[in-house]
Structure 1
Amino acid sequence: MSVDATPTTSSGAGGGAPRKRIVVTGANAGLGYFVSEQLAAMGIRVVLACRDLGRAERAADSIRTRVPNADLEIVVADLADLSSLEEASAAIVAGGPVDGLVANAGVVGSRKRQKTRDGFELQFGTNHLGHFALISHLLPALTESEAGRIVHLGSISHRWARLDLDDPMLVSGYHSYRAYSRSKLAVMSFGFELDRRLRASGSRVRSIVAHPGFALENLTEKRPGIVRRRWLPAPAVGFLRTFSQGKDQGARPLSYAATAPEVQSGEYWGPDGWFQLTGAPALVKAKKHARATKTAARLWNLSSRLTRVQPVIESSPARR
């Protein structure tokens, strides 16, 4: 099943229904930037949740050059700092209803083993634990929404990874790619487990996993000050296009998962092309180990212990 790459949604312009308000982490660059631009073009109020205020402001300016009526907010949020996330969540909730969260921000590769401010291995701590904490803080507001939605950023790298919950920080034997792929598998495992628990509670909140395929900066549409493309000869660019795409196209499955009415909780969305590397947004399959319930339950408990928070799941107001 594949769909048109440009999702549609209702806009609050012209006195219609109130605009949806969606938070995007890591919105100042890469996939997060293009998700934010695409959502703004649909008439959605976008909260740019970024680590650096200056970069967030440049991203907002860039979006407004293409979407003049863009409704944007900026909140400083560092996924590698749990105290920052608590403050950011309070600011987000104070700013109005929360209809969605695109949990996009993350670290891709770190040659040397580094730590977050809280002492976690950088990639696992940022990509998974940071979003686990942020979602825990925002879930009550999402539950109050008419149709709250959480999109977790997965990766095709989960196919070759397995979680080691006895050594989640790779203290013994660090390798950058192993750390990255395990962190993304953790993100997906949590996303599917959150869906199971939301369904069991009768909540309307949807937990969806989506991935961008193989998205490269060098194939991305130009955005001065945002996209940093390195020069490559034309033949090399042509070759890359046979199995990869730009960040702008990679963002489409995330935007679609965040807005399309037919997207259901627990689904996995990505490109519809060969090996899910490129193409239009489509419902795709995750590997079975990404949906392993026993491992997911262990991961949930571990994450709660490490972050000292956990998602409190209640039924949505209309179902109480």
Structure 2
Amino acid sequence: MSADARGGSPRATRRRVVVTGASAGLGYFVSEQLAATGARVVLACRDEGRAERAAESIRAVVPDADLQIVLTDLADLASTRAAAEQIAADGPVDALVANAGVVGSRRRRVTSDGFELQFGTNHLGHFALVSHLLPAIAAAEAGRIVHVGSIAHRFARLDLDDPMMVRQYRGHLAYSRSKLAVMTFGFELDRRLRESGSTVRSLVAHPGFSLENLTERRPGITRRRWLPSPLIGLMRTVSQGKDQGARPLTYAAIGADVQGGEYWGPDGWFQLTGSPALVRAQRHAHSRKVAARLWNLSSRLTRVHPILE
């Protein structure tokens, strides 16, 4: 399938797809795009009111959208477990798009379990959710897990001796490290799934450089700031809207030619903009030595362990 063909979405009728952080940004547009393909979309969101507004907005675009709301706070391991149990009780999960996350925090903050907020939400929360949902994903005919990475992984290395950045905290570095952890886990999970003989596939996708100001308008969902037209024009040369940035994530979730262990993102310059395509992650995101340490640390901190069957 060509990159241009990937500008649209393949059909996913009757598939059940869970999207975390579905009430805004990338998660919202992934959910809208999936609903348009006929998938049943589980909106896994922290705030019920925002989730309901998102569902209303999706139905304004896709009147026959099949949606379910499950309250999920990735910064709270108890909430994550409860959400997974609720989702699994309804049957197999064909795909999980692990999208929710915290982007930037100037001061160091912690989750309800005491983890640094960005590492604790973006990585540990999803590590726990994936672990709890694996049996339901394995019960699907060809279950798939899409971990949402970032081009920010290029500029960081994991410090697993101080993963919570207690000694020195910098918000942008905390974000980059959390996304590198997401990607390292995603690639390692697929390797272990293959070794175990599982039919589940794990892969990573990223949205490029996606900005709210370039995003299609959705009342109550998108929030644009006024900016001069020349600046908007300049932004369009190196960035795109979140609606377009969501497309690699959507394609990774339901594309027929997608394989485990792959990395999907925009096909443009420096992977900043463009249509969904196979792209390359930095070599350090594939380190098995680092991945083993991260896996063991994550399991110990969350007190859960992925069951690979």
Instruction: Give the structure-2-normalised TM-score.
Output: 0.98
The CA deviation string for residues 190-212 of structure 1, in whole angstroms up to 9 with x for no partner, is: 00000000010111111010000
Quote the Cα distance in structure 1 between the aligned partners of 2:124 and 2:67. Answer: 26
The CA deviation string for residues 264-307 of structure 1, in whole angstroms up to 9 with x for no partner, is: 00000000000000000000000000000000000000000000
Q: Work out whether 1:271 is the aligned partner of 2:282.
A: no
Instruction: Tell me the residue number matched to 2:118.
Output: 123
Q: Work out whether 1:8 is the aligned partner of 2:3.
A: no
Quote the Cα distance in structure 2 between the aligned partners of 1:205 and 1:96. Answer: 16
Instruction: Tell me the residue number matched to 1:220.
Output: 215
Q: Work out whether 1:248 is the aligned partner of 2:243.
A: yes
Q: Name the aligned partner's letter for residue 10 of structure 2.
A: T
Quote the Cα distance in structure 1 between the aligned partners of 2:305 and 2:243. Answer: 33
**Which portions of structure 1, spanning 4 or more consecutive aligned residues, are displaced by more than 3 angstroms?**
none
Instruction: Tell me the residue number matched to 1:177.
Output: 172
CA displacement at 1:94 relative to structure 2 = 1.3
Instruction: Decide which of 150, 155, 160 is 1:165's aligned counterpart.
Output: 160
CA displacement at 1:5 relative to structure 2 = 1.5
Instruction: Tell me the residue number matched to 1:236.
Output: 231
Instruction: Decide which of 25, 49, 52 is 2:47's aligned counterpart.
Output: 52
The CA deviation string for residues 163-218 of structure 1, in whole angstroms up to 9 with x for no partner, is: 00000000011000000000000000000000000010111111010000000000
Q: Work out whether 1:41 is the aligned partner of 2:36.
A: yes
Superposed counterparts of 1:60-79, under 5 Å:
60-79=55-74
Q: Name the aligned partner's letter for residue 143 of structure 1.
A: A
Quote the Cα distance in structure 2 between the aligned partners of 1:175 and 1:236. Answer: 28
CA displacement at 1:262 relative to structure 2 = 0.5
Q: Work out whether 1:25 is the aligned partner of 2:26.
A: no
Q: Counterpart of 1:150 in 2: which secondary structure?
A: strand
Quote the Cα distance in structure 2 between the aligned partners of 1:261 and 1:194. Answer: 20
Instruction: Tell me the residue number matched to 2:188.
Output: 193
Instruction: Tell me the residue number matched to 1:111.
Output: 106
Quote the Cα distance in structure 1 between the aligned partners of 2:161 and 2:276. Answer: 36
5+ residue gaps in structure 2? Answer: none
The CA deviation string for residues 102-145 of structure 1, in whole angstroms up to 9 with x for no partner, is: 00000000010000000000000000000000000000110111
CA displacement at 1:95 relative to structure 2 = 2.0
Quote the Cα distance in structure 1 between the aligned partners of 2:142 and 2:192. Answer: 16
CA displacement at 1:10 relative to structure 2 = 4.3
Instruction: Tell me the residue number matched to 1:16.
Output: none
Q: Work out whether 1:260 is the aligned partner of 2:255.
A: yes
Quote the Cα distance in structure 2 between the aligned partners of 1:66 and 1:108. Answer: 27
CA-based RMSD: 0.8
Q: Give the number of equivalent residue pairs.
A: 307
Quote the Cα distance in structure 1 between the aligned partners of 2:102 and 2:308. Answer: 28
Instruction: Decide which of 145, 153, 160 is 1:150's aligned counterpart.
Output: 145
Native 8 Å contact 1:5 1:256 kept in 2: no
CA displacement at 1:9 relative to structure 2 = 2.0
Superposed counterparts of 1:274-285, under 5 Å:
274-285=269-280
Quote the Cα distance in structure 1 between the aligned partners of 2:209 and 2:83. Answer: 30
5+ residue gaps in structure 1? Answer: 12-18, 315-320
Instruction: Give the structure-1-normalised TM-score.
Output: 0.95
Quote the Cα distance in structure 2 between the aligned partners of 1:97 and 1:133. Answer: 18
Q: Counterpart of 1:63 in 2: which secondary structure?
A: helix
Native 8 Å contact 1:82 1:130 kept in 2: yes
Native 8 Å contact 2:216 2:243 kept in 1: yes
Instruction: Tell me the residue number matched to 2:136.
Output: 141
Q: Counterpart of 2:238 in 1: which secondary structure?
A: coil
Instruction: Tell me the residue number matched to 1:85.
Output: 80
CA displacement at 1:35 relative to structure 2 = 0.1
Superposed counterparts of 1:205-216, under 5 Å:
205-216=200-211
Q: Name the aligned partner's letter for residue 216 of structure 2.
A: E
Quote the Cα distance in structure 1 between the aligned partners of 2:89 and 2:194. Answer: 27
CA displacement at 1:46 relative to structure 2 = 0.1
Q: Name the aligned partner's letter for residue 2 of structure 1.
A: A
Quote the Cα distance in structure 1 between the aligned partners of 2:93 and 2:3. Answer: 28
Q: Counterpart of 1:2 in 2: which secondary structure?
A: coil
CA displacement at 1:247 relative to structure 2 = 0.3
Native 8 Å contact 2:23 2:43 kept in 1: yes
